[in-house]
Structure 1
């Protein structure tokens, strides 16, 4: 079960449809070193050994912890491994998240990812939108496409976008992928005190129209449903966990969904990988809604 990123480009990327998000390998609040470094390294190795060839990271995870873990565990990289990173944000010493999205900021982030990941070119990079438009999208995305022309970036994607931003981005150039929050129980924009996290449901139709893979993040964090609902009931019937069924639901929802469930537990990683084997019928999907 694979998916092709940028199939019409000169250098398409074909990956397994179940990836791995590295964010949870860091310490509390996505900051600092992992509580169990040997297990974190073992998770990365086990993911790749289990068929995962799409890793999601960012230099602001840690700060720069996940990139260094990837290098320690996997470099030199397997030929088919795709490492996807994100730019557009940075961290303060108090572990808070702030925009880092001027053209100069973005160039700094790309150079940092190239250095820490020991790569000559970033295969796929998501521009995460933050800061409520303080830096116009065309300036941010224009800088990304410029670095693509320079050979620093192979494919450009967008993250945390609504349909309007995605449509605007498509007018500027090829958008290879979109990375938004998406899971069975949380499909649309989540509005919190510190801002908005854009949902996948709102852009899925546009992604499908243009053949753009949608990479769901936070699929296991924001509200796996409470016991007694449709997902929990079907999970009990199938003798699988709700987390596993959530992943299976994403894989069956659209052929363009590329889930990246993250975990800091080797046991949970193995359970997540097993979710790719769960078959859901049309009746199952209709029942889940």
Structure 2
């Protein structure tokens, strides 16, 4: 289980957390409990999660993978905008290196934004160039369609894919923050065939807009929370899935991590779909 830092920011994924000390303790507790994959982005905040990570965890454990994303930025009105020219990407990487206090970032996802004026292959080529320069160790893709993933794999080594994925939301949908969001179900088979970890984000989002009666029934069966069953379903779905649930609560962090102990039967998985 990994940990996604997006929820450590203020409202609308902007500004400082309501309780900065709690945010720092969450990061420290996650690593203390064995989490060695942390997902962030310099447009969370802006720069809030990166600075929290550095303050809480630097100098980093040798086995800790800090994964960041580029391809987007934020305006003062809190809107999300595309930021994916080769120079944009270079500036983002340099900013992430600075705020995270790193000389090389282990993994960087190029997030594909809707309505881009920059061709996908131009942006991805810039990512591979930054990799050659040693600023990035591994290149991943986020919010990627099946077609663009296949295209990207012909251009270089794609280490990971980060798409929205949960029991109640498996395919493309309109993103609550604007634009189209590509689902994990559309690329999972490609990831499995090529041994590419699929990192689902918003994996618990499906429990917000509507109730999931099947998840609720399994949660009652095992006396666990619906969020835990959502995570357990992902972990049972494929060995190539790495959930990164985020939270701004130490109690919820502990709850999320306990989802790895839930053993769903084949009958449970067949029922959940």
Q: TM-score, normalised by structure 1?
A: 0.92
1:94 aligns with 2:53: no
1:190 aligns with 2:207: no
Distance 1:169 1:257, change over 3 A: same
Aligned-partner Cα distance in 2 for 1:227–1:180:
22
Aligned to 1:268: 252
Contact 1:26 1:66 (8 Å CA) reproduced: yes
Distance 1:89 1:226, change over 3 A: closer
Aligned to 2:26: 43
Per-residue deviation at 1:131? 3.7
1:117 aligns with 2:100: yes
1:175 aligns with 2:158: yes
The 5 Å alignment of 1:78-227 reads: 78-192=61-175, 194-223=178-207, 226-227=210-211
Per-residue deviation at 1:227? 4.8
Contact 2:113 2:179 (8 Å CA) reproduced: no
Aligned to 1:14: none
Aligned-partner Cα distance in 2 for 1:136–1:53:
34
Aligned-partner Cα distance in 1 for 2:70–2:101:
17
Contact 1:185 1:224 (8 Å CA) reproduced: no
Aligned-partner Cα distance in 2 for 1:140–1:288:
38
State the 4+ residue runs in structure 1 displaced beyond 2 angstroms: 191-194, 222-228
Q: Extract unaligned runs of 5+ from structure 1.
A: 1-17
- CA RMSD, 1 decimal: 1.2
**DSSP 3-state at the match of 1:126:** strand
**DSSP 3-state at the match of 1:202:** coil
- More divergent stretch after superposition (188-197 vs 204-213): 188-197
1:280 aligns with 2:254: no
User: How many equivalent residue pairs?
Assistant: 272
**DSSP 3-state at the match of 1:201:** coil
Per-residue deviation at 1:30? 0.2
Distance 1:230 1:119, change over 3 A: same
Contact 1:99 1:130 (8 Å CA) reproduced: yes
Q: TM-score, normalised by structure 2?
A: 0.97
Aligned-partner Cα distance in 2 for 1:108–1:225:
36
Per-residue deviation at 1:217? 0.1
Aligned to 2:56: 73
2:243 to 256, 259, 267: 259
- More divergent stretch after superposition (184-193 vs 67-76): 184-193
**DSSP 3-state at the match of 1:222:** helix
Per-residue deviation at 1:226? 4.8
